[in-house]
Amino acid sequence: MRNFLTTLLVFCFYNAFSQDINIEAFATGLVNPVNIKHAGDDRLFVVEQEGTIQIINSEGVLNSSPFLDISSIVYDGASEQGLLGLAFHPNYASNGYFYVNYINNSQNTVISRFERSDINTADPDSELILLNITQPYNNHNGGDLAFGTDGYLYIATGDGGNFGDPEDRAQDLSTLLGKLLRIDVDTPSGANNYGIPSDNPFISNPNALDEIWAYGLRNPWKFSFDKDTDDLWIADVGQNLYEEINMVSPSVSADGLNYGWRCYEGNNAYNSTDCPDDSTLTFPVGVYAHSGNGGPTKCSITGGYRYRGNEQSALEGLYFFADFCSNEIGYLEPDANEWTMTFTSPYLNNEWSCFGEDVNGELYIAGLTSGTVYKITTNSLSTSESQIKDIKIYTNSHNNTITIDLINSASLNEINLYNIQGRFLKSITNFESSKITFSSESYASGVYLLELKKTNGSRSIKKIIVD
């Protein structure tokens, strides 16, 4: 029989958990989530690949009906097709405009604007098509959308697909494929339902398309802007050996950059035919191999965001990403002028497909398989807090329980249980009496940490052994 054995000594050497990543289920019931965005309030809007957008409120509750359903005009017959991207207009609160990126029934990319009907519903008949991009193959569609602080809409497109970019589209400035595009949705021009920003880099080049902002991308499945610094982050899915993360600071001119595909996959030469000089290319700040690094086999990067929230101070400034095949979450941490890459242990049966950032900068992640949106947290168990002295912990070996006795009516407001690696397991916040009892039967033998928090902000950490 397993018993709880407790020590009343503060467990005081877990500062190493300052960047231990944890995920907590926030909302369930999604079907193939591929994009998460906010509209300037405390809700999350989740894009489902089949052609719907769902709303999750601040409590993690899914609305009973979708915000938008355009599944009748969306084609998702291949794994990289479907409704892929969402971006809300900077003035969404007043104009109700939002933009989507999807594959239509002709299997081509469409960039469209829709309008909301009310706070929880959009009008599926309000579509205004901005761009229609012919897709030569059924993969490498990119699909993400985002507004920059400049008010312009940025659009990520893949190289058109197949294997190895056989027509070299990513390096070809006469096609919109393999690019990051930038358009002005507020100033339509001529026959188009959009305009071209006057400082787009190729508007004076007769051999280039005006919409292009940057090029040399293979399949930029996700990109984001750092909400604090406006750095541009692009996670570009690799061919068959390497995955890459690109970052450009506003201090560096981001327009007209060539990210190097198909000449390079990551930092490694791929196809040198008709390639420009290396000095003209922008190389990634982070690269990882599919195999040979001691961890599980990887295959496809899902880009995320740099953490700029208020709830998880230990995560400040980390750039988060994930791998679709290995189910690992990774992050880049600034280290002088370099970036250090770290991976978590795999989270099985998720197939991480997208990250999301809420209005406060807190981060979320979702997977195709699980259909669950998780919130990213940390198990920082700093010991700099003052100790709690008026609490007694004792066990009952007969029924495998642990009891916390609030001596002298101590004002305890939260109890958190972690495993020895610092991963969150359980929280208790409802204290209706001076004694709180819970069972140990669902926990395997091993060492656990019990974090005790009082309303005055003090806390301590106790070690608990289950044998």
Q: CATH number of the domain that 152 lies in?
A: 2.120.10.30
What 8-state DSSP symbol labels residue 456? T
Residue 116: phi, psi to the nearest 5?
A: -80, 150
Q: Are 148 and 195 within one domain?
A: yes
Q: Are 102 and 234 within one domain?
A: yes
d(CA 93, CA 360): 17
Q: Which CA distances in Å does 390 have to 7, 393, 458?
A: 15, 10, 12
d(CA 39, CA 358): 9
User: What pLDDT score does 184 carry?
Assistant: 98
Q: Are 72 and 142 within one domain?
A: yes
Q: Are 339 and 395 within one domain?
A: no
Q: Are 125 and 169 within one domain?
A: yes
pLDDT by position in tens, the chain (length 467): 334 333 333 333 223 333 578 898 999 999 999 999 999 999 999 999 999 999 999 999 999 999 999 999 999 999 999 999 999 999 999 999 999 999 999 999 999 999 999 999 999 999 999 999 999 999 999 999 999 999 999 999 999 999 999 999 999 999 999 999 999 999 999 899 999 999 999 999 999 999 999 999 999 999 999 999 999 999 999 999 999 999 998 877 778 999 999 999 999 999 999 999 999 999 999 999 999 877 899 999 999 999 999 888 889 999 999 999 999 999 999 988 899 999 998 988 899 999 999 999 999 999 999 999 999 998 654 333 344 555 666 666 566 666 777 665 456 777 777 776 667 777 777 766 666 676 666 667 777 777 777 666 656 666 666 66
Q: Which of 328, 356, 378 is the last residue of a domain?
A: 378
Q: Are 447 and 332 within one domain?
A: no
Residue type, 246: N
- Answer for the pair 342, 333: CB distance below 8 angstroms, yes or no: yes
Q: Are 395 and 371 within one domain?
A: no
Q: Which of 333, 354, 378 is the last residue of a domain?
A: 378
Give Cβ neighbours of residue 79 (< 8 Å, ≥ 6 apart).
139
Q: Are 88 and 237 within one domain?
A: yes
Give Cβ neighbours of residue 352 (< 8 Å, ≥ 6 apart).
302, 322, 323, 324, 327, 329, 365, 366, 367
CATH number, domain with residue 438: 2.60.40.3080
Transcribe 377-396 into DSSP letters: EE----S-SPPP-SEEEEEE
d(CA 441, CA 400): 6
Closest CA to 269 of 257, 261, 280: 261
Q: Are 113 and 128 within one domain?
A: yes
Q: Please give the residue range of the domain that contains residue 140.
A: 22-378
Q: Are 240 and 388 within one domain?
A: no
User: What pLDDT score does 411 carry?
Assistant: 64
Q: Are 330 and 462 within one domain?
A: no
* Total domains present in the chain: 2
Q: Are 300 and 392 within one domain?
A: no
Q: Which of 350, 378, 406 is the last residue of a domain?
A: 378
User: What pLDDT score does 12 carry?
Assistant: 30
